[in-house]
Amino acid sequence: MRTMLLAGLLAVSMPAMSEKLTIERIYDDPALLGATPRGLKISPDGTRVTFLRGKAEDQNALDLWEYNLADGATRLLVDSKVLQPAEEQLSDAEKATRERQRIAGLKGIVSYRWAPDSQRLLFPLAGQLFLYDLSAPTAEAVRSLTPKDAEIIDAQVAASGRYVSFVSRQNLWAIDLKSNLKLRLTDDGKGAVHNGEAEFVAQEEMDRFSGYWWSPKSDWIAFQRYDETAVPLVQRFEIQPDRTNVTEQRYPAAGQPNVSVQLGLVKPSGGRTRWIDLGPDKDIYLARVNWTPDGKHVAFQRQTRDQRRLDLVLVDIDTMKSQRLLSETSTTWINLHDDLRFLTGQDSFIWASERSGYKHLYLYGMDGKEKFPLSTGNWNIDRVLALDEEAGLIYVAANRDHPLDKQVYALRLDGSNAANPQRITPEDGWHEATFVTEGAVKLFVDSWSDPRTPTQVSVRKPNGERLAWIAENRVDDSHPYAAYRAEHREPEFGSIKSADGQDLWYRLYKPAGFDPAKRYPVLSHFYGGPTVQLAKRDIGDLMDQYFAQQGYIVVTLDNRGMSRRGRAFSDPIHRRLGAVEVEDQRALIQWLATQPWVDAKRVGVFGWSYGGYLTLMMLAKSSDLVAAGVSVAPPTDWTLYDTHYTERYLGTPQGNAEGYAQSNVLTWLDGMQSPLLLMHGMADDNVLFTHTTQLMAELQNRGKPFQLMTYPGGKHGMSTPAMKKHVFNTMRRFFARELGTTPAP
């Protein structure tokens, strides 16, 4: 089994002092792995890179910065605390949106957008809306756009730059920046009716956070109207430290009604809405909406309720006639994507499909007929990053060279290098790339890390050559991680075989002072669910580092069911969850038991969300191998979880009762013999606290002992530093006690 060691920034000279990580320091300020920029964007003219960065004294309070390519200077543009010194007061809609985007723990400027003129930036802050003008004097640069009594979400700038739009109190608004006239474009948004918003499952499960789309000429806005009257109204208790809120939420649980959706067209100056025919089947998902470059057609993607069919439909906005361009079908499920690109130089479009068993790109004519594939092979494209028609290239993120890496590649629009794309990023490891949204590619921004290198951010030429650093993030003696770098553990990577012969990749940390003649306890940290990969050649999770430094072997294995490995790897979970995932994790523990440096009687497992579910299933089905487990915020009964996610894998409870029963943790509880620590936030609106209360009651009914820690006010991610510290300190003490190790102070 091959072990991969990578050179990086941690190979600099060691300081005299050397400290082990602590949980408190991991979640304290300043950020231990460096103040890594987030929200990176390139200005439309390619002269600036803007980003958000946390304050030194509070890494979760974000300000707006720029890197100017002309003079190489990095500047603070907007200090969020100066502009809004008071404590943030957010609307419930904004809080819910941030929770869906997994940024609930952030404050300050958490998002922004460029205007097409490359001179103005639009951003919300503390419920207000601001426009920053780079060409104005500093004292006059920021302009408030907030209408009276507005509750702003999803602010956008029109392609023309003349209008700003947003959703407030369930209606769509536009502001004419020339006249400062504020127009409400819809007026029936109230109660169960929402205009311009993405519904709950679109945000939570479909990776769609917007409910409206500007045309290229800014003469029309396509918007979604949804009515959630039929969705069951659930009363949810949010237990806060000082009160209990009874929240009524329209929650579409598996097998129950979804929202009804419409797609309309409205002008930014207001007027009558024109409605697009979405087809005879009303029980559908409006998955994606895109405009053609000439603004004469709008395309929408329509997914059936069972998620086995996805139609791409083109609508002529003059005649309102529609044409189905193509349909994707599957015997399991169709994964959604954002890789549709309409070309301007020819009547063609780019489309992504997994029909070959892997996600690849294809070129289609506007008649809906496939021309030829743009990529081929037993590897997976993650997403399209940019389309440069002038150069005849498509830039993509993919794992062609190694399943644990993410690299940037260039594919030719003529399909000539479909099997052998040009790799752009030279370093092995994990690259997250940002390109200009349209037009010729002159540069891109690369955020890269490997197991020895915290994330570095650089500006690169289209061929991958580095032009400049935005954040070199060198771990020198002044870096926050300097005192800990000598104790940094380098992981080993390898794979074992699944029952059907596929490679299961793992990342394994050996403990500090490793002695192969000794036997060590093991902590297996996993997610295990669809779409999430944890075993990667990146800097990794500092909590894994922490437990390795405390004397544990820490291992993460990505079992079958996850993405990026092709449909043969992802599809075995279809119609039943918690089966092959447990089988693969058992295979890892059994392999570990054959290693002379593993104490097979002291194996602990832990995970969060789906990882919490898998922890419970491991304890229920594999207490013969697992000595103890920690489950955080777990779904336990899939009939309680939402439609789009659950039905994608299990179908409906009405059509797959046996699959739901076999996927239910409660079905297997008699097998749970090893100690359990159960944790959950008491205001979780994703995996509702009901999942844990039902499990608690059933464990009690069966006389099963368990330990419990709940968090008043805690959402799904329990995102405050204080909660995170408490979660992991409680976990630390539990494993020390149950696995017979010495707890760190």
Could you give the CA distance from residue 626 to residue 41 in angstroms, rounded to a whole number?
A: 45
Angle between helices 610-621 and 580-593 (to 10 degrees): 70
The residue annotated as part of the active site, out of 194, 337, 479, 716, is 716
Confidence band, pLDDT 50/70/90 cuts, at residue 3: very low
pLDDT tens sequence across 248-276: 889 999 999 999 999 999 999 999 999 99
Confidence band, pLDDT 50/70/90 cuts, at residue 333: very high
**7 pLDDT higher than 50:** no
Of 3.40.50.10900, 3.40.50.300, 2.120.10.30, 3.30.1490.100, which CATH number belongs to 353-472? 2.120.10.30
* Residue 1 pLDDT: 35
Is the previous residue joined to 30 through a cis bond, with omega within 30 degrees of 0?
yes
Q: Identify residue 513 by its one-letter amino acid code.
A: G
Confidence band, pLDDT 50/70/90 cuts, at residue 15: very low
**402 pLDDT higher than 90:** yes
Strand 107-108 and strand 163-168: the pairing is unpaired
Confidence band, pLDDT 50/70/90 cuts, at residue 4: very low
Mean pLDDT of 665-674: 98
Distance of CA 426 to the CA centre of its chain: 25
Which residue in 624, 625, 629, 613 sits closest to 695, CA to CA?
A: 613
User: Which strands make up the sheet holding 181-184, listed edge to edge?
Assistant: 152-157, 163-168, 171-176, 181-184
Query: DSSP characters for 617-671?
Result: HHHHH-TTT-SEEEEES----GGGSBHHHHHHHH--TTT-HHHHHHH-GGGGGGG
* Residue 126 pLDDT: 87
**692 pLDDT higher than 60:** yes
Q: Identify residue 100 by its one-letter amino acid code.
A: R
Q: Note if 716 is an active site residue.
A: yes
DSSP label at 139? G
In the chain, CATH 2.120.10.30 sits at 353-472
**646 pLDDT higher than 90:** yes
Mean pLDDT of the chain: 94
* Residue 624 pLDDT: 98
Place of tokens 């752009």: 424
User: Which strands make up the sheet holding 348-353, listed edge to edge?
Assistant: 341-342, 348-353, 360-365, 370-373
Task: Identify the weakest region by mean pLDDT among 204-208, 245-249, 430-434, 575-579.
Answer: 245-249
**365 pLDDT higher than 90:** yes
Angle between helices 721-738 and 542-549 (to 10 degrees): 30
Helix (H) / strand (E) containing 696: helix 690-701
Could you give the CA distance from residue 381 to residue 384 in angstroms, rounded to a whole number?
A: 8
149 C-beta neighbours (distance < 10 Å), count: 7
Place of tokens 């129950």: 256
| Tokens coding 648 | 């994608």
Q: Is the pTM above the cut of 0.85?
A: yes
Could you give the CA distance from residue 122 to residue 177 in angstroms, rounded to a whole number?
A: 12
CATH fold of the domain at 489-738:
Rossmann fold (3.40.50)
Confidence band, pLDDT 50/70/90 cuts, at residue 12: very low
User: Which strands make up the sheet holding 381-388, listed edge to edge?
Assistant: 381-388, 393-398, 407-412, 422-423
DSSP label at 584? H
Mean pLDDT of 479-504: 97
* Residue 719 pLDDT: 84
Query: DSSP characters for 534-573?
Result: ---SSS--HHHHHHHHTT-EEEEE--TT-SSS-HHHHGGG
* Residue 10 pLDDT: 54
- 481 forms bridges with which residues in the sheet? none
Q: Identify residue 597 by its one-letter amino acid code.
A: W
**485 pLDDT higher than 60:** yes
Which residue in 424, 351, 354, 374 sits closest to 565, CA to CA?
A: 354
Distance of CA 386 to the CA centre of its chain: 20
Burial of 596 (0-12, 13-18, 19+ CB in 10 A): exposed
Strand 212-214 and strand 221-227: the pairing is antiparallel
Confidence band, pLDDT 50/70/90 cuts, at residue 11: very low
Q: Are 446 and 433 in contact (CB under 8 A)?
A: yes
Q: Would you say the C-alpha torsion 181, 186, 187, 193 has a positive or negative sign?
A: negative
Three-state DSSP class for residue 391: coil
Q: Note if 269 is an active site residue.
A: no
Confidence band, pLDDT 50/70/90 cuts, at residue 2: very low
pLDDT tens sequence across 194-239: 999 999 999 999 999 999 999 999 999 999 999 999 999 988 888 8
The CA distances from residue 44 to 71, 119, 157, 447, in Å, are 18, 9, 13, 19
Mean pLDDT of 549-577: 97
Mean pLDDT of 367-373: 97
Three-state DSSP class for residue 724: helix
- The percent of residues in the chain predicted with pLDDT above 90, rounded, is 88
- 62 forms bridges with which residues in the sheet? 54, 108
In the chain, CATH 3.40.50.1820 sits at 489-738
The CA distances from residue 277 to 199, 286, 323, 340, 413, in Å, are 19, 12, 11, 21, 33
Q: Are 357 and 379 in contact (CB under 8 A)?
A: no
The residue annotated as part of the active site, out of 111, 165, 458, 609, is 609
**16 pLDDT higher than 60:** no
**577 pLDDT higher than 60:** yes
Dihedral in degrees, nearest 10, Cα atoms 399, 400, 404, 405: -60
DSSP label at 686? T
The residue annotated as part of the active site, out of 339, 538, 684, 685, is 684
pLDDT tens sequence across 627-640: 999 999 999 999 99
| Tokens coding 352 | 């992504």
Strand 341-342 and strand 348-353: the pairing is antiparallel
Could you give the CA distance from residue 719 to residue 25 in angstroms, rounded to a whole number?
A: 16
Could you give the CA distance from residue 488 to residue 492 in angstroms, rounded to a whole number?
A: 13
